[in-house]
């Protein structure tokens, strides 16, 4: 079973103990997906760097190193969009009103700059990919000049010389180290929560902590609860702490987002917390209530047998809503009855198992879809 997002709280089952970090040698502009990597939005490359268990202090050190490479520019224009796109697909603007800056864009930043200039990003990408860069630059300039009649201010987020985000000045990035230091203080030094798996890149952070000292009371299975810490520095997600479960047998997981499963959430349009440690601790202390809800629902799902018709209905639904395709559906169907029981619990595990082979965002979407199955128990 892979990760599973369920309707009453948020669980994630992890495939194995490892840290995943950014591959700094990737050509972000011309990167093509490799089966050994997880690609976020096409250009953020995250690569497994080992199966050795990495503690929270190691994650903080990595985050600290990344943090030194961020640089933010605030660019303004009067009745004109202050950023321009070159024929090479780069962004160009004036820093501090005088210094000319030209830089590459990640796909996320490219989509954002097009959106803010009022230009269709799909069309612009098609122009650039087909060698019509001059047409792309002309179109961007034309649309940008008519995008607004009001003064425009933009926050340009650059990492190691490449623009990763184009945002409003009101956007407040929450530094990865700042969040992790708060979590470190909140969990203390008693060793209860263990950093089990981490996706850590300059753009995003998704780290999972497990309490291996207190197994849940479920039938014939070893499950442990924990929490995830997620944040984005490029405008595609709020900072959140969510409840999850870890299944020891297959090292997979489930994530639940309703009935208090989102333990804490804050958007990037607010200042970062002054007393994060206390709020984080309060959020984590809510987990014992969710443990009891989870035990009940999982035990019911384990005992709910699926008929051939019911199984077909759910697989058709998954194929349509998750974009599994015919092959993906066939592979999932083959796992039912062989790898997992033909129960609601087995089906949920099958979907999350399949999710492991997809990119991070798709994987999380599949896990949430699978998690919703538990509400049918």
Per-residue pLDDT of the chain (377 residues; tens, 9 = 90+): 433 333 333 333 333 333 333 333 333 333 333 322 222 332 233 333 333 455 788 889 889 999 999 999 999 887 678 999 999 999 999 998 889 999 999 999 999 999 988 899 999 999 999 999 999 999 999 888 776 666 788 999 999 999 999 999 999 999 899 999 989 988 876 678 888 878 888 999 988 888 999 998 988 888 888 898 999 999 988 999 988 888 766 566 666 555 457 888 888 887 776 667 788 888 888 888 888 888 888 899 999 999 999 999 999 999 999 988 888 899 999 999 899 999 999 998 898 888 878 877 787 788 778 877 877 76
Q: What was the pLDDT predicted at 148?
A: 66
Q: What was the pLDDT predicted at 144?
A: 84
Q: Comparing C-alpha atoms, which of 375, 372, 364 is closest to residue 2?
A: 364
Q: What was the pLDDT predicted at 2?
A: 34
Measured between alpha carbons, how far is 52 from 17 in angstroms, rounded to an integer?
A: 7
Q: How many other C-beta atoms can be found within 10 angstroms of the C-beta atom of residue 48? A: 15
Distance of CA 333 to the CA centre of its chain: 27
- pTM, two decimals, is 0.80
Tokens of 109: 């930043």
Q: Map the chain to HEC letters.
A: CCCCEECCEECCCCCCCEEEEECCCCCCCCCCCCCCEEEECCCEEEEECCCCCCCHHHHHHHHHHHHCCEEEEEEEECCCCCCEECCCCCEEEEECCCEEEEEEECHHHHHHHHHHHCCCHHHHHHHHHCCCHHHHHHHHHHHHHCCCCCCEEEEEEEECCEEEEEECCCCCCCCHHHHHHHHHHHHCCCCCEEEEEEEECCCEEEEEEEEEEEECCCCCCCEEEEEEEEEECCCCCCEEEEEEEEECCCCEEEEECCCCCEEEEECCCCCCCCCHHHHHHHHHCCHHHHHHHHHHHHHHHHHCECCHHHHHHHHHHHHHHHCCHHHHHHHHHHHECCCECCEHHHHHHHHHHHHCCCCHHHHHHHHHHHHHHHHHC
For residues 218 and 317, the answer to whether their CB atoms sit within 8 Å is no
Tokens of 67: 């943090």
Rg (CA), the chain: 22
Q: Are strands 99-105 and 162-167 parallel, antiparallel or unpaired?
A: parallel
CA angle, 206 as apex, 324 and 291 as ends, to 5°?
85
The phi, psi pair for 287, rounded to 5°, reads -65, -30
b/e code 157-175 from CB counts within 10 Å (16+ = b): bbbeebbbbbbeeebebbb
For residues 5 and 355, the answer to whether their CB atoms sit within 8 Å is no
CA distance to 85, 365, 375, per residue, from 369 (Å): 38, 6, 11
Measured between alpha carbons, how far is 67 from 206 in angstroms, rounded to an integer?
A: 16
């Amino acid at each position: 079973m892979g990760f599973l997002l369920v309707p009453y709280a948020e669980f994630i089952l992890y495939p194995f103990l490892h840290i995943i970090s950014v591959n700094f040698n990737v050509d972000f502009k011309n990167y093509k997906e490799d089966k050994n990597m997880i690609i976020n939005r096409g250009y953020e490359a995250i690569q497994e760097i080992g199966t050795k268990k990495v503690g929270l202090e190691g994650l903080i050190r990595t985050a600290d190193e990344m943090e030194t490479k961020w640089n933010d520019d605030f660019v303004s224009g009067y009745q004109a969009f202050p950023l321009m796109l070159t024929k090479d697909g780069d962004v160009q603007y004036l820093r501090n009103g005088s210094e000319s800056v030209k830089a590459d864009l990640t796909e996320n930043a490219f989509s954002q700059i097009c959106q803010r200039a009022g230009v269709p990003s799909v069309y612009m990408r098609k122009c650039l990919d087909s060698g019509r860069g001059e047409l792309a630059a002309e179109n961007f300039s034309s649309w940008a000049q008519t995008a607004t009649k009001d003064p425009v201010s933009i926050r340009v987020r650059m990492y190691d010389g490449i623009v990763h985000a184009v945002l409003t000045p009101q956007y407040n990035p929450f530094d990865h180290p700042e969040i992790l230091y708060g979590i470190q203080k909140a969990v203390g030094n008693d060793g209860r929560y263990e950093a089990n798996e981490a996706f850590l890149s300059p753009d995003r952070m998704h780290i999972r902590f497990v309490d291996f000292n207190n197994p849940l009371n479920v039938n014939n299975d070893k499950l442990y609860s924990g929490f995830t810490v997620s944040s984005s520095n490029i405008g595609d997600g709020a900072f959140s702490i969510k409840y999850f479960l870890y299944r020891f047998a297959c090292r997979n997981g489930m994530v639940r987002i309703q009935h208090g499963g989102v333990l804490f959430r804050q958007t990037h349009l607010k200042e970062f917390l002054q007393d994060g440690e206390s709020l984080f601790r309060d959020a984590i202390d809510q987990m014992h209530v969710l443990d009891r809800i989870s035990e009940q629902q999982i035990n019911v799902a384990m005992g709910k047998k699926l008929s051939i018709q019911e199984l077909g209905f759910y697989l058709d639904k998954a194929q349509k809503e998750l974009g599994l395709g015919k092959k993906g559906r066939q592979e999932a169907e083959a796992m039912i009855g062989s790898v997992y029981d033909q129960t609601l619990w087995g089906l949920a595990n099958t979907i999350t198992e399949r999710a492991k082979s997809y990119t991070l965002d798709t994987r999380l979407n599949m896990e949430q879809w699978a998690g919703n199955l538990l509400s049918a128990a």
